[in-house]
Structure 1
């Protein structure tokens, strides 16, 4: 998708939100990151019922890292998005090891269905998988998450269907496929409705596609935006700026 970078300060001013630009923009599309490839499974994952100072609803969303990390990284993704697969494969492992597992960043995985007909059903699968494993084996979600992106072909969206997602769910260790099916049967409409508010937060930050990211300093209100398949170095730079602002 189209992409760029910006850093801003989000403040409540007279009952509204003020935004002051701190940085410029830079475009990255299918740029290789140079980071070590691999599947990222966070050392620590958790749940939360809060709505953050940036307006992101965390209930039911996968969260990795220290609950008290000073910086939130909101990651809007679509399992049919090739640039999202690129980010997960080439950049997320380094971001995770160097910033999430160290306690500086709390990573929140968010759905932004925007690629194809199966984008929303894929988002429902994701939420149902997380709901079944979050308490006892959250690492299973991240294995499932990586497996979906691994199944994505180089191009096209016709690969995504019930059979493919059912197979990945059944094959992912620690994911109870029957319970996930029950969740999808009983909660699909509620999950679909719950996705919209966080998509609106992304759109208000001028994120129009995936992958899209906002880095948010929970104490100071400083926020940085990245859109597209940025290399690891851009994330490291943005995290440093937001952490120290």
Structure 2
């Protein structure tokens, strides 16, 4: 990246002007982090009822990191997305250790169902798991979240269904499958509808696929947009720029 030339401001980003996807604007490049596919569980997670100055609604969304971390990463994902799995296993652990656990960044997990017929039900599973564990044992969500991505087969064939996600809930410590099933039955439609405002924010930022990211300094409103399974080095460069802006 070229320093300040890659940073825009919220208003410009949402207007579609002066925005750059880092990494030369190339989506879905292979990761070079070499983290070995490890699983990351944030040291701290929290809930919030606020709407951020970028316009992202946080209610009911999993948030990794400290409440007062100066930089947000808004992360639009889909459990059926292979490039999201690549980000989760190759890049997220390093971002977590170096920025989230250090108190500099908080990551907000948002859903953009866009891969297959089960993308929306999978997103509802995620929101219901979070609602069940957020107050008492938020680490259980991140374990479930990683395990859900682990279910993706190398063949890329259709694999996602109720049984698969229920089995992940069943074997994840701290997750009550029965409570999650009840949430899906009683709140599934309202959860689906509640995704719309944040999908609107993504579309305004010209993010049309997963994984998609906005790295945002809530005080200065400096922002960088990214699309694809970018390597850790690109994220670190962008986060450092936004932190200092």
**TM-score, with structure 1 as normaliser:** 0.92
CA deviation after TM superposition for structure 1 residue 148, in Å: 0.6
Pick the structure with more strand per residue. 1
Partner of 2:198: 198
Contact 1:65/1:105 (<8 A) preserved: yes
Partner of 2:52: 52
Give, in whole Å, the separation in 1 of the partners of 2:92 and 2:192: 26
Residues 90-140 of structure 1 show CA distances to partners (whole Å, capped at 9, x for unaligned) of 000000000000000011000000000000000000000000000000000
Give, in whole Å, the separation in 2 of the partners of 1:197 and 1:155: 34
Give, in whole Å, the separation in 2 of the partners of 1:19 and 1:27: 17
Contact 2:16/2:206 (<8 A) preserved: no
Contact 1:73/1:106 (<8 A) preserved: yes
CA deviation after TM superposition for structure 1 residue 8, in Å: 1.5
Question: Does 2:205 align with 1:208?
Answer: no
Residues 43-87 of structure 1 show CA distances to partners (whole Å, capped at 9, x for unaligned) of 000000000000000000000101000100011000000000000
Contact 1:91/1:231 (<8 A) preserved: yes
Contact 2:31/2:232 (<8 A) preserved: no
Residues 143-180 of structure 1 show CA distances to partners (whole Å, capped at 9, x for unaligned) of 00000111101243510001100100101111011000
Q: How many residues align?
A: 237
Instruction: Classify the secondary structure of the residue corresponding to 1:21.
Output: coil
Question: Does 2:104 align with 1:104?
Answer: yes
CA deviation after TM superposition for structure 1 residue 35, in Å: 3.8
Question: Does 2:90 align with 1:90?
Answer: yes
Partner of 2:229: 229
Instruction: Classify the secondary structure of the residue corresponding to 1:120.
Output: helix
CA deviation after TM superposition for structure 1 residue 33, in Å: 2.6
Contact 2:42/2:65 (<8 A) preserved: yes
Contact 1:10/1:20 (<8 A) preserved: no
Consecutive unaligned residues of structure 1, counting only runs of 5 or more, are: 1-5
Contact 1:170/1:176 (<8 A) preserved: yes
CA deviation after TM superposition for structure 1 residue 11, in Å: 3.9
Note the aligned Cα RMSD (angstroms): 1.8
Give, in whole Å, the separation in 2 of the partners of 1:30 and 1:21: 22
Partner of 1:162: 162
Partner of 1:21: 18
Partner of 1:3: none
Question: Does 2:172 align with 1:172?
Answer: yes
